[in-house]
Amino acid sequence: MGLKIDWVSKHFGAIAAVDAVALEIPEGQMVGIIGRSGAGKSTLLRMINRLLDPTRGRIRFKETEITSLRGRGLLEWRTRCAMIFQQFNLVKRLDVFTNVLIGRLSYHQTLPSLLKWFSRQERAMAISALERVEILDQALQRVDTLSGGQQQRVAIARALVQQPEVILADEPIASLDLRSATMVMDTLQRINREDGITVIASLHNLATARAYCDRIIGMAEGKVIFDGAPSLLTPEMVCAIYGLEEAREELGEVVACSPPKASMRPVLNSVPAVS
């Protein structure tokens, strides 16, 4: 078993951003988490990476109890579980190559890292990662000279040199044009297929989730209300996830929304691992 989320909740005061979520995600899946803004998608990802602590519940990965990690153990988990953000989180004044090497910082003591004393092997890893995301020719450019789509691919390359077992992508294409978004999603899917790395991406766009993901998790008001294969996602369920107006935009058709029947909800964790 890969990742197991046991009835996790996150409260901000009286507001339940994530409400009693229970999921099992086998290794090697590409999972899309969909829902409206404020549905709890980003909060859930940040708890998995431990950027936020759950109010209740437990998160495990293989034999590691994630929710109890502190200090070095937590740093090691964040290396194994790489995070890609909507706003890239790159060091804008540094070149592309150095930004990718930053993904190796957790493998170093502080002083050598600050002095950029990265090994020849690590530099080769960075070159290989940049080749994979098709941006090696920009390796010596400052990051702030690149387009948004290029910066996001640099962020993916940085994640790759961490040698992660899980990649979490928090709205990775929200600020990108269609061409750039396609390149980023193609890259994430290729990494998932070729390396067997579990990819969990929060995505607002339903068509993108359907096109790229083996499994879709739909959230509304902090709860998981759909968990299954893209083919099982009916118009009625899309309504329940997005609401009437957004559902019409996502589906590109006129639909009448009504609360989904219990029988319409696929059984949790019904999608098998990708071989």
pLDDT (tens place) for every residue of the chain, 275 residues total:
689 999 999 999 999 999 999 999 999 999 999 999 999 999 999 999 999 999 999 999 999 999 999 999 999 999 999 999 988 889 999 999 999 999 988 887 665 555 567 888 999 999 999 999 999 999 999 999 999 999 999 999 999 999 999 999 999 999 899 999 999 999 999 999 999 999 999 998 889 999 999 999 999 999 999 999 999 998 888 888 987 656 556 665 545 555 544 434 444 444 444 43
Number of domains composing the chain: 1
Q: How many CB atoms lie within 10 A of CB 86?
A: 17
Length of the chain: 275
Strands annotated E in the chain: 3-12, 15-25, 30-34, 56-61, 64-65, 81-84, 166-170, 198-203, 215-220, 223-228
In a domain, 138, yes or no: yes
In a domain, 270, yes or no: no
In a domain, 274, yes or no: no
- Read off the CATH number of the domain in which 192 is found: 3.40.50.300
In a domain, 273, yes or no: no
Per the DSSP assignment, residues forming a β-bridge with 19 are none
Kindly give the residue spans of alpha helices, DSSP state H, lying in 81-221.
96-101, 110-114, 120-132, 148-161, 178-195, 206-212
pLDDT of amino acid 87: 85
Q: Could you tell me the CA-to-CA distances from 63 to 1, 56, 60, 66, 67 in Å, in that order? A: 9, 20, 7, 9, 12
Q: Please state, in angstroms and rounded to a whole number, the distance separating the CA atoms of residues 206 and 216.
A: 9
In a domain, 117, yes or no: yes
Instruction: For residue 110, give the 3-state DSSP assignment.
Output: helix
In a domain, 114, yes or no: yes
Q: Please state, in angstroms and rounded to a whole number, the distance separating the CA atoms of residues 135 and 172.
A: 17
In a domain, 272, yes or no: no
In a domain, 70, yes or no: yes
Reported as type and span, the H/E element at residue 41 is: helix 41-48
**Nearest-10 crossing angle of helices 120-132, 148-161:** 140
Domain membership of residue 51 as a residue range: 3-264
